[in-house]
Structure 1
Amino acid sequence: MPGEGWTYAYEPIMLPLPAEQDNSVNVSNAHGIEVFPNGNIVVTYQDGSDESKCLLKWERGAYHRPAKLIGPGAQLCKGVPHGLRAAQEDGGLYLYHANNQQSLHKTLSDGTVVWQDLGPPAGVSVPFMPTWHDAQPGSPYVYLADGYGSSRIYVYTREGRYTGQFFGGAGTDHGKFSTCHAITWDWRSSEFVVSDRENHRLEWFAVNASDPSVFEYKRTLSAESIGIQRPCNVRVRSPDGVAIVPALEGNVAIVDRSNRVLSLVNVSGSDIGPSGWLHPHDAFLLPNDDFVLVTWLPGRIGYFRRMR
């Protein structure tokens, strides 16, 4: 049964914010997490009092020490920084950032901007409030979820050019979305999985690495079947295929390679943390089965240790 497997406890000494005398931050909303191959953790967030801040880094082996602020400031942070996705390309590590205020960015791992695209895709007149990117390894294309705008998936190149291809739109039929909050490359099936949040489901799609016009519906997983309602993102761990799915209503589901529940953690409950963690937004499962979590409204960043 969900929740009878792995159990977790919140570790309050882990992932502290920068010391006030160094550069204090005001985390209004914490939106995205990445853990690099070297173990460093990066979080993107919205600072409620300073639009020059939005990226924090903790180094491996020093998760108990205050974070460091990284990035170029307002060029990257102005607006509402949202989804964050890492990608290995051409021997380097890059980050794709989606900002709700119609800006897309690709940066180096330290936040240095490689390119930015401001405004909606060319020729698009529907609402545009992008939420998350991901890419198929080896493909020149990046897929962007416009979760808070048109409920479409737009296809860009890795150089930031819109291809003119999009899929989805608002609806409940398969391949239509109601807040396609995130898109994730699921290497277990070599397909994309879309977190169709307000339809309470995950949907998988096949693509073609060299043809951006292909986005073929394959199957659906009901969010309720893994103990959640409003999935925000999916992250699949390598090499075992265990995935973690945070849900906005307060649960975090951890599922095995076949999407069977290993643990259902109610982080918003009074037994986790001093006052609960409302609105889980992104989570990352570490190699030791601990996970890191960020939440939306209020913005919190935390470390949860597996107890059994």
Structure 2
Amino acid sequence: MNSNPSRRNFLRTTALTATAMTFKPFYILNAKPKTNGEIIGHGTHTYKVQLGWGDLDSSKFPINNCHEMVQDSKGRLIMVGDEVKNNILVYDRSGKLLDSWGHEYPGGHGLTLWNANGEEFLFICDPNLGKVVKTDIQGKVLLTIEHPSKVGAYEEKMAFKPTETAIGPDGTIYVADGYGSQWILRYTTNGEYIDKFGGPGDEDHQFATAHGVAIDYRNKANPTLLVTSRVHNSFKRFSLDGKYLSTIFLPGAYVCRPVMDGDNLYAGVCWSRLRYLNQTPNSGFVTILDKNDKVISNPGGTKPEYRDGQLQMMVQNYPQFMHCHDVCVDNEKNVYICQWNAKKTYPIKLVRV
């Protein structure tokens, strides 16, 4: 008998949403892709699809997977990928390439921008190398975080495949070992190990693919940490010192990292639960939550629906996207989509309507 009330609620909600989704996935799987200029999204957050926005000459600037993107203080859009001919591509908002660099990150995956009193730094996660590096905005390496066994945090045999970082208000570095051993590790600004929390499992404080991590400053008096638990279709909220607080359950959505912009939380959905409620290839979309952590729009996905306060199953509506790995929101509230395993396509822009 399962005595965990959160687990019981998870199973009950899943059962209810499964009933609501009867037969619908089979219709969706046969749908045709939407085209350039289509309007997608719901309510106050609708967008015009701009395909080809970030297209480049692939013979000069090839990509494999567009993993993540951030915007710096100059409005430049900086994207990381896993093609070592140019791990970093830097765009302006029109889609023009401004710069490219990076040849040493075969698994270039996580990209975090930290503005430290006006000076900007990048944190790059490479799960293939098992390293996190801090660089200046031009890519000069300033700090490297390696396997946690070197500081006594892991046993040597434990996998370390970091996928994301977040930087706390005091400069604490949070590292999500999302493809490795499922811990969130804390380091000082100088890279000295503090502690870790989480680990693999189905308890509230544990993770199943701790893919992303971000600081939520929406409550300015009490910032918290949001951690992706992708297989759980959830974001889990923690205090900045690693104490579990609550879960945002997003049934059907295999979310990537949480991206904060103003009062809203955005995320790319890499897969949704289409056929028989299983993780289904090429079923991604974008999800947007308001300041109360309520889903208000799903560009590329089904309209969010709540019944008796419970969010119902969300899945891809039409196959505009394949696997949405990350989103970046610019100063005009346009959204840029980075995709994994999407036939080497460059980023797509969603123009806010």
TM-score category of the 2 structures, normalised to the smaller one: 0.7 to 0.9
CA contact (8 A) 1:243 1:285 kept: no
For residue 247 of structure 1, report the CA deviation from its aligned partner.
Answer: 1.0
- Corresponding position of 2:270: 248
Match of 2:164, as an amino acid?
A: W
CA contact (8 A) 2:233 2:249 kept: yes
Q: CA deviation at 1:13?
A: 4.3
Aligned identity (percent) is 23
Q: Shift in Å at residue 118 of structure 1?
A: 3.6
Corresponding residue for residue 119 of structure 1: 147
Q: Which residue of 1 aligns with 2:297?
A: 263
> Which of 42, 49, 63 pairs up with 1:4?
42
Contact between 2:62 and 2:85, CA under 8 Å: does it hold in 1? no
Mapped to 1, the partners of 2:101 and 2:63 lie a distance apart of 15
Aligned AA (2:65): N
Offset at 1:223?
1.1
Match of 2:349 in 1: 303
The one of 157, 167, 184 aligned to 1:135:
167
Q: Tell me if structure 2 keeps the 8 A contact 1:248–1:279.
A: yes
Q: TM-score, normalised by structure 1?
A: 0.83
Does structure 1 residue 57 correspond to structure 2 residue 90?
Answer: yes
Q: Is the 8 A contact 1:121 1:162 kept in 2?
A: no
- Alpha-carbon distance, 1:10 to partner: 1.9
Matching residue's letter, 1:94: F
After superposition, the C-alpha distances for 1:150-208 in whole angstroms (9 at most, x for unaligned) are 01101112222323x1111111111100011011000013100001101111110112x
Aligned-pair distance for 1:116? 2.1
Distance in 2 of aligned mates of 1:270 and 1:247: 12
CA distance in 1 between partners of 2:230 and 2:316 (Å): 21
Check whether the contact 1:31–1:43 (CA below 8 A) recurs between aligned residues: yes
**How far apart are the structure 2 equivalents of 1:271 and 1:234?**
23
Aligned to 1:281: 325
Aligned to 2:72: 36
SS of the residue 1:258 aligns to: coil
Spell out the pairing of 1:161-172 with structure 2 (5 A cutoff).
161-163=192-194, 165-172=195-202
The match for 1:186 among 203, 209, 216 is: 216
Q: What count of residue pairs does the alignment treat as equivalent?
A: 278
- The CA RMSD measured in Å over matched residues stands at 2.2
1:220 alignment partner AA: T
Q: How big is the shift at 1:270?
A: 8.8
Q: CA deviation at 1:229?
A: 1.5
Q: Structure 1 residue 177 and structure 2 residue 207: aligned?
A: yes
CA–CA distance in structure 1, aligned partners of residues 189 and 92 of structure 2: 27
1:247 corresponds to which letter in structure 2? V
TM-score normalized by structure 2?
Answer: 0.73
Contact residue 288 and residue 295 of structure 2 kept, 8 A: yes
Contact 2:48 2:351 (C-alpha < 8 Å) held by counterparts: yes
Q: Any idea what SS the aligned residue of 1:34 has?
A: strand
Where does the alignment leave 5 or more consecutive residues of structure 1 unmatched? 208-213
Q: State the structure with more CA Rg.
A: 2
Q: Which amino acid aligns with 1:110?
A: Q
**More off after superposition, 297-306 vs 117-126:** 117-126
In the alignment, structure 1 residue 24 sits paired with structure 2 residue 60? yes
1:157 aligns with 2:188: yes
Are residue 231 (structure 1) and residue 269 (structure 2) matched? no
CA shift for structure 1 position 66: 3.3
What does residue 46 of structure 1 align with? 82
Instruction: Name the one with the larger strand percent.
Output: 1
* Cα distance between partner residues in 2 of 1:174 and 1:269: 27
- What SS is found at the alignment partner of 1:248? strand
CA distance in 1, matches of 2:340, 2:171: 32
Alignment check: 8 A CA contact 2:334 2:350 kept: yes
Aligned partner of residue 207 in structure 2, secondary structure: coil
87, 95, 104: which is aligned to 2:122? 95
Deviation at 1:90, TM superposition (A): 4.2
- Name the counterpart of 1:216: 243
8 Å Cα contact 1:129-1:147 kept in structure 2: yes
Unaligned 5+ segments in structure 2 are: 1-39, 272-283, 302-314
State whether residues 177 and 196 of structure 1, in contact with CA within 8 Å, keep that contact through their aligned partners in structure 2: yes
1:86 deviation in Å? 0.6
Structure 1 pair 293/67, CA: closer, same or farther in 2 (3 Å)? farther
Are residue 203 (structure 1) and residue 269 (structure 2) matched?
Answer: no
